[in-house]
Amino acid sequence: MVGGSRPPFAPWRDGPPRFAVGLKPIAPQCWLLPDTEAHTLPERALLLRDSEATHFQDEAALPAAREATALAGKAMGLEEDPSRDARPLWQLAHKVSDDLVLMMPGAEGWRVGAAVLTSPTFFSLPHAAGKTLHELHAPVPGGNRLATRIARVFDHVRPDQVLERFNWTLQAGNDRYTPDGAPLQARAQAARPEEALSLVHVRVERQTITKLPETGAVLFTIRVCIDPVAALASKEKAALAAAWHGADIAARGYKKWAVLDHLVAAALPTP
């Protein structure tokens, strides 16, 4: 984490986006705390009211959802007993800002058994519910190989480990609930360079995985941090610009960055 200030994470310092697993072990006490996005919880609570749109749970995933909730609650110092809860992850989601995806092992590989999503980065709950890792990653460059590697990690990670990775992109605006990226792309395309400083935001996804010792499911957490690029220190802007311009054609195409180029030219230095 980058000190106590904003933005809390700066994954562009590692260079352009790569479609790789890139998971690193972290200290278990850093799993969910500090919740750097706790200020978004009131907005999240409003979205959670529509539980049909934000929550999914397979009946078979209920014991694992309870186990995940108990484990996360303990890590956060919450005194909760989810053992009778019918929607434990949905309840937990009122207290932690991270989106929560429970992956269940099965004969056809790992599948989404339950999820709470209020800050999806251009995918939706109906799209993800029940899907395998291969189905989910089909649109990603090299997605098939990536999914096979992710499955291997899920198979072998130990219950006492917490693994962390990051994704990032730029977007036109600070929208957090974005099941579809098209409105953000249209906004970027229509914007004038004079608007760049107020419009361009960096969106970081901080993801973790944790194996549940009893059910053997994996809890995948996604914390979305959104900050205006205008607020970044000049050294950080330079690192972000270098990573943006260093991305290869496949990454730029997949992330649909072309619509942002004129805004990035106005908001960030040229490397």
Q: Is the peptide bond before 105 cis (omega within 30 degrees of 0)?
A: no
Q: How far is the CB of 105 from ligand HEM (least distance, A)?
A: 12
**182 near ligand HEM (CB under 6 A):** no
Nearest to 56 by CA among 135, 137, 147, 118: 118
* Residue number with CB closer to ligand HEM (18 or 192): 18
- Work out whether strand 200-211 and strand 162-172 pair parallel, antiparallel, or are unpaired: antiparallel
If you write DSSP's letter for every residue of 199-250 in order, what string do you get?
A: HEEEEEEEEEEEE-TTT--EEEEEEEEEEEGGGS-HHHHHHHHHHHHH--HH
| Binding range to ligand HEM, per CB under 6 A, among 69-77, 136-144, 223-231, 261-269 | 136-144
**111 near ligand HEM (CB under 6 A):** no
**126 near ligand HEM (CB under 6 A):** no
Looking up tokens 């994954």 gives 11
In the DSSP assignment, the letter for residue 108 is T
Residue 182 dihedral angles phi and psi, to the nearest 5° = -60, -45
Site string for ligand HEM, 20-39 (x = CB under 6 A): -x-x----------------
Site string for ligand HEM, 69-108 (x = CB under 6 A): --------------------------------x-x-----
Kindly determine how many residues on this chain lie close enough to bind ligand HEM according to the rule CB under 6 A: 21
Site string for ligand HEM, 196-225 (x = CB under 6 A): -----------x-x----------x-----
Instruction: Give CA–CA dist 187/183, Å, rounded.
Output: 6
* Residue number with CB closer to ligand HEM (55 or 137): 137
CA distances for 58 relative to 10, 55, 115, 269, angstroms: 35, 10, 9, 48
Site string for ligand HEM, 4-23 (x = CB under 6 A): -------------x-x-x-x
Instruction: Give CA–CA dist 183/256, Å, rounded.
Output: 12
Residues that bind ligand HEM (CB under 6 A): 17, 19, 21, 23, 101, 103, 112, 123, 128, 136-137, 139-140, 146, 150, 165, 167, 207, 209, 220, 255
